[in-house]
Amino acid sequence: MDKNTRICIVGGGPAGLSAGMYLEKKGYNNYTILERLDRVGGKCWSPTYNGRRYEMGAIMGVPSYYAVHDVEEFCGITHDGPKLNRNYKNGQGKVIEPFEPKKNILKIPRLLKMKKQLKRFGELLETKYKGYDLNGHRGVAEGRYEGFSAASAKRQPVSGENPNLKDLALPFKKFCEINGVDLVQDIWIGPFTSFGYGYFDEIPAAYVLKYLDFQTCMNFVKINLWTWKNGTQYIWEQLNDHLAHPARLNSKIDKVERKDGKVYVTVNGKVEEYDKIIVTAPLYIPNKRKDGQVGMVDYFDAREDERALFSKIDYERYDVLACETKPEDHPEISYYVFDNMVPERLGHLMVYYRRWRDTKDQVITTYSLRKHKDSKEIPYDKCRSMVLEDLKVMNNPASKVVNEWSVYYFPHVFSEDYAAGWYDKVEAMQGKYDTFYAGEIMSFGDMDETAEYSRELVERFF
């Protein structure tokens, strides 16, 4: 492709900013990033409270976040944040240690069985499901893999046939059961469901395992984590500052028309002409959102195939509260509440974080899910009240809500559409209509997966 190609990138989150960085690295300097908000970072949002930044979105990373490390190197920054730790409570607020045999004598047989299954699971993923951990979903429903190896930062291209990969379309619960490793769900559930990505009986195993591949999940288990002193948003603020063409904030796109080999974008009332467009913003949002955010099909001249495919997308209703507590009620550590990570406890507090361990004048952040595909969605206000009541049960009552956020979160398709080749159909459309699709839905809804997909998109098509 001509290096002078005029490229419009929709969205100034990790996917959009990374697309700009990787294009720049390949010699493309005629790109424009349009961001509808007054800030960059997307779901990496780190507001300030009492002089320190706290997290309303992404919290942490792990050493296998190679795309994030690319950004760090590009900007000359590093992961310099507070060391995180956590403990566990049951639904009644009692501190428990679910993985410690000496504290759970009656559960020793189950814990020993879990340990054996964990070892077997690691072996299965490397052998029976070879290729499972590649970024994105190309070929999975067809029983093949194609992409770049996640074994090291070099990311060598790999491809092959593996009919077993079709199993990844199954809900993770069923996937574990057919492989005789159902107890590993007890390990994977913490960094998956409590992080807002849904329940194992509804979400295809592909999403679970492309985000929490064996290496990544073990990093979470061992608390081998990265954080950033100025928050995860700082990563993307720094990248934006280092790009030749920083994102244009407060850019409201009213219309996109694709005709005669050109892309016409009406932004803030003015028409701009481009040759190609990369969409990292949502492709489809079912139902109207109070914040006015819409999907691509609502402001593009969306074609029939785009509408048909993107209308299959659903998303999680995941809510975050930032709360003050009285000093005597401040938790000594972050807590996971496994009892509340099941559909039957929809809307309840699943995890709450204490980011700064050296002071009590900071907020704690709470996280809850209020949607399951087979259940009625819980209204936001009701869920908010439930979470505040749960904090009282946890003996860490909030004295004030400082901030709250209900964001468009984790777009995905369900098993039937995944198995029917949804991803291969969308991938076959890449470049059609001079349009490329990136962002969360094309890989997974964490900052590294979305950034990595942008890297691969640029490698493949530019």
* Structure confidence by residue, pLDDT tens digits, 336-358: 999 999 999 999 999 999 999 99
CA–CA dist 175, 311 (Å, integer)? 26
Which candidate, 166, 196, 428, places its Cα nearest to that of 316? 196
- The pTM for the full model equals 0.96
pLDDT classification of 391: cutoffs 50, 70, 90: very high
Domain residues of the chain, as ranges? 7-47+229-313+413-461, 103-219
Output phi, psi for 263, to 5 deg: -120, 120
**Topology (CATH level 3) of domain 103-219:** Guanine Nucleotide Dissociation Inhibitor; domain 1 (1.10.405)
Residue 100 is predicted with a pLDDT of 86
Sheet strands side by side (includes 262-267): 253-259, 262-267, 270-274
- Residues 6 or more apart whose CB falls under 8 angstroms from that of 76 comprise none
Q: Do domains 7-47+229-313+413-461 and 103-219 have the same CATH topology?
A: no
| H or E stretch at 257 | strand 253-259
Q: What percent of the chain has pLDDT over 70?
A: 100
* Structure confidence by residue, pLDDT tens digits, 77-111: 999 999 999 999 999 999 998 888 887 788 899 99
* Structure confidence by residue, pLDDT tens digits, 107-147: 899 999 999 999 999 999 999 999 999 999 999 999 999 99
Residue 226 is predicted with a pLDDT of 97
CB atoms within 10 A of CB 162: 17
Residue 62 is predicted with a pLDDT of 96
Residue 292 is predicted with a pLDDT of 86
Which candidate, 77, 43, 460, places its Cα nearest to that of 280? 43
32: β partners: 8
Which candidate, 211, 209, 224, places its Cα nearest to that of 63? 224
pLDDT classification of 150: cutoffs 50, 70, 90: confident
272: β partners: 265
> Could you tell me how many residues make up the chain?
462
Residue with tokens 């509440």: 337
- Is pLDDT of 151 > 80? no
pLDDT mean across residues, the chain? 96
CATH of 7-47+229-313+413-461, one of 3.40.50.300, 3.40.50.1220, 3.50.50.60, 1.25.40.10: 3.50.50.60
Tell me what the mean pLDDT of segment 405-433 comes to: 97
Residue 103 is predicted with a pLDDT of 79
Q: What percent of the chain has pLDDT over 90?
A: 94
CA–CA dist 174, 57 (Å, integer)? 29
Determine which of 10-14, 90-94, 151-155 has the lowest per-residue pLDDT on average. Answer: 151-155
CB atoms within 10 A of CB 26: 13
Residue with tokens 């992080």: 195
